[in-house]
Amino acid sequence: MNHERLFKTESHWLTRIGKAYLTERVVLHGKDLHHELDHLEWLHLYLYSILERDPGVNVAKMLNSYWVGTSYPDPSIWPNHVAALAGSVRTTPSLGLMAGLSISEASIYGRRPEVRALDFFYRAGRWCDEGNALEEFVDNEKSRGRILYGYGRPLANTDERIAFTLDKAKEYGFAEGRYLKMAFAVYEHLNSKYGYSMNVAAVHAALAADMGFSCEEYQLILTPCFVTGMAPCFRDTKRRPEGSFFPIRCESIVYHGVGKRDWEDTPT
Amino acid sequence: MPSDYVYHSNFWLEEPEDANPFAAKACYCHGYDVYGQIISRAGWFEYLLLMFKGERPQPAESALLERLAMVLANQGPKEASIRAAMNGGVAGTNHSSALMSSLAVGSGLYGGSQELEVCMRLWSECGQNIEHWKTRLQDPQEDERADIWPNLEHAPGFDPNGDDIPTTLRQSLDLLVEYAPSEGALHWLQAHRKALETSVGYPVSISSVAAAAFVDLGLDRDQGSMLYLILRLPGAAAHALEQKKMGWKKFPFYSSAIELEDDPGPYKPPVSEGKP
């Protein structure tokens, strides 16, 4: 490889995603935005923009339930806490909400567990397609020290979103999918063997697998999903006195480090 | 008395003013009085290394970090993270938004902090064993699982769009080596650069050089990644401010360069059959 390939795209970008012919029209994946896509709800259009196809009303409604079901106006939740701090220090909505969304790409909640859980089900599916037992796959993952995303939950033992999501899956025709059944089979095994609980990341990912999303598509789809909970957190602190959102006193920083020492006593 | 909610720290201690528990009378970093001693007696890079590593660094370590910071301070508009900040600055966005865009675009697997992290992981795996390096550079993934980060598309620490090491990067490597421990990673990289480039098929990039410097400073991959992000911000800020003053009329707008391969043309309403 070398720099030669850069010449090709230095001043020319050939694409199929669409284009904004400013002052004239906008094409998105082959359709006119203002004439052929104007009937779509915004979230449905977002799916179309990611998937490059219309996934249909039921998929859009199912995913809408993910967004609705995770719109928690509670600033104790860490991304919301960032949005609340942003309001408390009087910064702007874009900065506060985008920062909150950005930290939603976390390892113990949000995007990484979601992507890893979806990948887990696809790999488990391939394992089972080869005639192997699901329980064996789960045990192999566990024996390799891997976190089984979607099982167990950092702050609670039950997940109020599961029943909500399953109701929606039934309503929109996704209650009998292969991967949703697999999610519960994995739960039964982990619960009986290790006492694990299941959280909504497993249910969401299994349904996503049944809807056929790639991991990248799923990550993009869920990226904005906490934002609705952040907006009220931002506004709530914005209305209160500056800096009044759970202030920290000096003694609430509990120190566990080395004792006080003099700079000159430890020359380098 | 602390509140019901406390934060724990192994390196930061604050003592309150007698009259206000929320205001600090003194702050200590790893036991040293920040406002009483560190600020008046330490250099910026000495303080940074103390903060990250927990002990006062050797003068040579502070000097190496300072030189690395200067190497990283401004990669110029060609660097994607700088260009991102310029895209913010030119339209008069918030300064923090410009820097956020620089951090985001500067975090990637191609030239960003995630690539640097992979390089530092390979340093911990391969050390100074060139055969291990040659093997791992061809297959640097940690495992087969999908992640929020995509798979690497090139050997980490090398530039697939390069021919030979750019003069500026070679100058940087040669200079940093002068400040680096003689048996360390930077010396090893300088000595084995050509062999590695021959094996990979393209030249080392700034990620390799910075990773080796962080290894020589005894930093782990998380610490290295954070410093890499921080130390590249000055150029992003300066370029963003410059474009704000320069104005959008002088800034590229690529619309005419973008060609839609399958343009359906202007929308035509369907014609109803059988109607006049």
Q: Where are the domains of chain A?
A: 13-54, 111-222
SS3 B258: strand
Q: Do A253 and B41 touch (CB under 8 A)?
A: no
Q: B127 in the Ramachandran plot: left (φ > 0), alpha (ψ -120 to 50) or beta?
A: left
Residue B143 CA to residue B190 CA, distance in Å, equals 29
Q: Do A216 and B266 touch (CB under 8 A)?
A: no
Q: Which of B:194-223 have CB within 8 Å of A?
A: 201-202
Residue B89 and residue B239 in contact, taking contact as beta carbons nearer than 8 Å: yes
Query: Which of A6, A253, A254 would best serve as a mutation to test chain B binding (most B beta carbons within 10 A)?
Result: A253
Candidate from B2, B3, B260 with C-beta closest to A27 = B260
Q: Please give the pLDDT value at position A154.
A: 47
Residues 6+ apart with CB under 8 A from A206: A117, A121, A177, A179, A180, A182, A183
pLDDT band (50, 70, 90) for residue B273: low
HSE at residue A246, side-chain half, CA atoms within 13 A, is 14
Q: Considering only alpha carbons, which residue of chain A is nearest residue B258?
A: A13
Query: Residue B246 has which token pair?
Result: 């320069």
Query: Which of A23, A221, A250, A254 would best serve as a mutation to test chain B binding (most B beta carbons within 10 A)?
Result: A250
Q: Do A5 and B266 touch (CB under 8 A)?
A: no
Residue B5 CA to residue A252 CA, distance in Å, equals 7
CA distance B212 to chain A (A): 23
Considering chain B, what percentage of its residues have pLDDT values greater than 90? Answer: 95
Query: Residue B45 has which token pair?
Result: 């890079």
- pLDDT by position in tens, chain A (length 268): 689 999 999 999 999 999 999 999 999 999 999 999 999 999 999 999 999 999 999 999 999 999 999 999 999 999 999 999 999 999 999 999 999 999 999 998 899 999 999 999 999 999 999 999 999 999 999 999 999 999 975 456 678 889 999 999 999 999 999 999 999 999 999 999 988 899 999 999 999 999 999 999 999 999 999 999 999 999 999 999 999 999 999 999 999 999 999 999 876 6
Q: Please give the pLDDT value at position A257.
A: 98
Number of Cβ pairs < 8 A linking chain A and chain B: 167
Residue B167 and residue A138 in contact, taking contact as beta carbons nearer than 8 Å: no
Residues of chain A with C-beta less than 8 angstroms from the C-beta of B264: 27, 30-32
Alpha carbon separation from B215 to B120, B180, B209, B230, B239 (Å, rounded): 7, 10, 10, 17, 29
Q: Do B258 and A15 touch (CB under 8 A)?
A: yes
The mean of the pLDDT values for chain B is 96
Query: Residue B180 has which token pair?
Result: 């680096």
Letter for the amino acid at A87?
A: G
Q: Please give the pLDDT value at position B276.
A: 47
Residues 6+ apart with CB under 8 A from A72: A80, A226, A229
Helices A134-143 and A178-194 cross at an angle (nearest 10°) of 60
Residue A139 CA to residue A141 CA, distance in Å, equals 5
Residues of chain B with C-beta less than 8 angstroms from the C-beta of A251: 1-2, 14, 16, 21
HSE at residue B128, side-chain half, CA atoms within 13 A, is 13
Q: Please give the pLDDT value at position A2.
A: 86
CA distance B33 to chain A (A): 8
Candidate from A2, A94, A248 with C-beta closest to B163 = A2
ipTM: 0.92
Q: Considering only alpha carbons, which residue of chain B is nearest residue A17?
A: B260
Residue A193 CA to residue A191 CA, distance in Å, equals 6
Residue B88 CA to residue A44 CA, distance in Å, equals 29
Q: Considering only alpha carbons, which residue of chain A is nearest residue B22?
A: A249
Candidate from A6, A94, A257 with C-beta closest to B31 = A257
CA distance A18 to chain B (A): 6
Q: Note the pLDDT tens digit of each residue in B62-82.
A: 999 999 999 999 999 999 999
Q: Do A263 and B37 touch (CB under 8 A)?
A: yes
Residue B215 and residue B122 in contact, taking contact as beta carbons nearer than 8 Å: no
Is residue B175 pLDDT above 60, yes or no?
Answer: yes
Q: Note the pLDDT tens digit of each residue in B133-173.
A: 999 999 999 889 999 999 999 999 999 999 999 999 999 99
Determine the distance from the C-alpha atom of residue A108 to the mean position of all C-alpha atoms in its chain, rounded to a whole number.
11
| Mean pLDDT along residues B71-94 | 97
Which CATH number is correct for A111-222, 1.10.1840.10, 3.30.750.80, 3.40.50.300, 1.10.230.10? 1.10.230.10
Q: Do B21 and A249 touch (CB under 8 A)?
A: yes
Q: Considering only alpha carbons, which residue of chain A is nearest residue B148?
A: A112
Residue B226 CA to residue B228 CA, distance in Å, equals 5
Candidate from B8, B37, B202 with C-beta closest to A256 = B8
Task: Please state the pTM of the whole predicted model.
Answer: 0.94
Q: Please give the pLDDT value at position A156.
A: 62
Q: Where are the domains of chain B?
A: 12-41, 58-243
Determine the distance from the C-alpha atom of residue A16 to the mean position of all C-alpha atoms in its chain, rounded to a whole number.
27
Helices B113-126 and B130-138 cross at an angle (nearest 10°) of 140
